[in-house]
Amino acid sequence: MHSTLFILGTHRTLSVAELFLRYPKGKFIAVGQDWALMDLPIELGQKDLDALGGTIKVATVLEEVTGGNVNNVLASALAQRDTGTKIEYGVSVYGIAERQLRPLLIGLKKTLQKSEIKSRFINNNFQNITAAQYKSIRGKGVEYLVVKEGARHWVAETMGMQDIDAYSKRDYGKPFRDMKMGMLPPKLAQILINLTGVSGTIWDPFCGSGALVMEGLLMGHPMIGSDIHAERVEGAKKNIEWARPEFGIKAKAELLAHDATKSHTLSFDAIAAEADLGMPHSQQIRPDILNKIMSDLDQLYLRFFQNLKAMRCDKPVVIALPFFRHADGREQFMEKTLRSIEDLGFKRTPLLPDILKAEDRLSLRYSRPDQSVGRAVYRFLLS
Ligand SMILES: C[S@@+](CC[C@H](N)C(=O)[O-])C[C@H]1O[C@@H](n2cnc3c(N)ncnc32)[C@H](O)[C@@H]1O
């Protein structure tokens, strides 16, 4: 087993859920505010991290230190890399106040000097290593992570870091963008795909500009994307054609105009989608109009699931439905729709491991505080 540390993104529970369903053979050891520790049968690297939307860094644990001296563990890890030339390294801390970095880095420097090991730490601002800093030492230097929970410390070596530039290129560089419809952030698209827990073909029946299709292809899934609006399907095709050479995509894609409430003969292993959200994220809610929007969406989702039932679809369905935030902060979910979907026989499956003491394991949110429309994520399975 490989003890693996994940530094989590801003949507912590979604990040944990992604790991829970992406690595079913893994075992959670501990989960902190912005990190999770798992035992996994495989060692992860940059390529694995590139397919995780909710993780910022992935690291292999070198040692668990109970009440011992972290400095010594770091010094001996660095000593093993000593080739006589200056070693460039950085240390980041989690579950520990960042101000502790200064004494830690200076103490470590002194220990290394005593052993006559030439070294230079790159976070001389005494803050955690950023993606840009990591890029500057990748291949020649090393980042260590120190995580603390109670009396336990873990020292880990970073194996992969989120590539922010690649995400923004995919998000903002693609030729077809439709701001009216709102576009799925690539990281959330990856999370939705990983929540399916399958490695085969994924169908996005509400594909819009094809953000989820593009992410699935990059992760190596054969993908099917469809949308009721033919011009969006054409736009999605353009985006995929642009992404293929740009990111070296090899997996197969099928894109077609199709009404998701109607039957078809497509073959797939799971569904992952962001369905119609009804209105732009930033538009103020008007309660009189909201009722009409919710009732239209209710009909759309109900007909979509009725059709899946008629097709005897027994594959996982991961879907982001909207929730609405009123001016007074009250949040309104598609409760009636969820009940109707469950009445059809689609049960919501748990998204979180037991180690996380969560009140609600069946739905997760993705939203910014300033948005009036957020996304609530569910995973259904026909029972
Ligand atoms: C929120 S958008 C999806 C955006 C997409 N994830 C993206 O990043 O571009 C929802 C999409 O659902 C499509 N849609 C609405 N009703 C549909 C239906 N009955 N069948 C298929 N697609 C539908 C809309 O045309 C729209 O493109």
Q: How far is CA 337 from CA 115, 200, 263, 278, in A?
A: 66, 28, 20, 14
232 Cα: distance to centroid of ligand 1 (angstroms): 9
Residue 20's nearest CA partner among 30, 10, 29, 28 is: 28
Query: Residue 126: which pLDDT band, with cuts at 50, 70 and 90?
Result: very high
336 Cα: distance to centroid of ligand 1 (angstroms): 21
Testing ligand 1's pocket by substitution, the residue of 227, 299, 302, 318 carrying the most ligand atoms inside 8 A of its CB is: 227
pLDDT over 90 at 257, yes or no = yes
> Alpha-carbon distance 218 to 171, whole Å?
13
209 Cα: distance to centroid of ligand 1 (angstroms): 9
Residue 237's nearest CA partner among 347, 247, 227 is: 227
**Contact in structure between 239 and 176 (CB atoms under 8 Å):** yes
> Alpha-carbon distance 376 to 289, whole Å?
20
What's the pLDDT at 370?
Answer: 85
What's the pLDDT at 205?
Answer: 98
DSSP class of residue 153? E
Residue 64's nearest CA partner among 89, 31, 29 is: 29
Mean pLDDT along residues 111-119: 94
What's the pLDDT at 213?
Answer: 98
> Alpha-carbon distance 61 to 235, whole Å?
44
What is the 3 state secondary structure string of 19-68?
Answer: HHHHCCCCEEEEECCCEEEEEECCCCCHHHHHCCCCEEEEEEEEEEEECC
Mean pLDDT along residues 139-147: 96
Average pLDDT, the chain: 95
Mean pLDDT along residues 195-217: 97
199 Cα: distance to centroid of ligand 1 (angstroms): 24
pLDDT over 90 at 206, yes or no = yes
- Tokens 């992935």, located at residue: 58
DSSP class of residue 98? G
Q: Ligand 1, atom 17: nearest CA belongs to which residue?
A: 228
379 Cα: distance to centroid of ligand 1 (angstroms): 18
Mean pLDDT along residues 35-59: 98
Percent of the chain surpassing pLDDT 70: 99
Query: Residue 25: which pLDDT band, with cuts at 50, 70 and 90?
Result: very high
Query: Residue 36: which pLDDT band, with cuts at 50, 70 and 90?
Result: very high
What's the pLDDT at 241?
Answer: 97
What's the pLDDT at 52?
Answer: 98
pLDDT over 90 at 177, yes or no = no
What's the pLDDT at 222?
Answer: 98
> Alpha-carbon distance 215 to 185, whole Å?
10
Q: Ligand 1, atom 13: nearest CA belongs to which residue?
A: 206
What's the pLDDT at 301?
Answer: 97
Residue 342's nearest CA partner among 362, 364, 365, 370 is: 362
Quote the tokens at residue 24.
């079913």
pLDDT over 80 at 282, yes or no = no
168 contact partners, CB below 8 Å, separation of at least 6: none
Higher pLDDT among residues 289 and 219, named by residue: 219
Query: Residue 176: which pLDDT band, with cuts at 50, 70 and 90?
Result: confident
257 Cα: distance to centroid of ligand 1 (angstroms): 11
> Alpha-carbon distance 86 to 288, whole Å?
67
Ligand 1 atom having least distance to the Cα of 211: 8
Q: According to DSSP H, which parts of the chain are helical?
A: 12-22, 46-50, 70-80, 101-114, 131-137, 164-172, 186-196, 211-218, 230-247, 287-310, 335-343
Q: Which residues have CB under 6 Å of ligand 1?
A: 181-184, 205-206, 208-209, 211-212, 227-229, 232, 259-261, 274, 276-277, 300
Q: Coil, helix or strand for 120?
A: strand
Domains of the chain (ranges, CATH numbers): 2-162 (3.30.2130.30), 165-382 (3.40.50.150)
Ligand 1 atom having least distance to the Cα of 232: 27
Query: Residue 369: which pLDDT band, with cuts at 50, 70 and 90?
Result: confident
Testing ligand 1's pocket by substitution, the residue of 184, 228, 271, 301 carrying the most ligand atoms inside 8 A of its CB is: 228
pLDDT over 80 at 265, yes or no = yes
**Contact in structure between 208 and 184 (CB atoms under 8 Å):** yes
Ligand 1 atom having least distance to the Cα of 275: 10
**Contact in structure between 331 and 324 (CB atoms under 8 Å):** yes
3 Cα: distance to centroid of ligand 1 (angstroms): 40
What's the pLDDT at 253?
Answer: 98
275 Cα: distance to centroid of ligand 1 (angstroms): 6
Mean pLDDT along residues 232-244: 97
Ligand 1 atom having least distance to the Cα of 261: 19
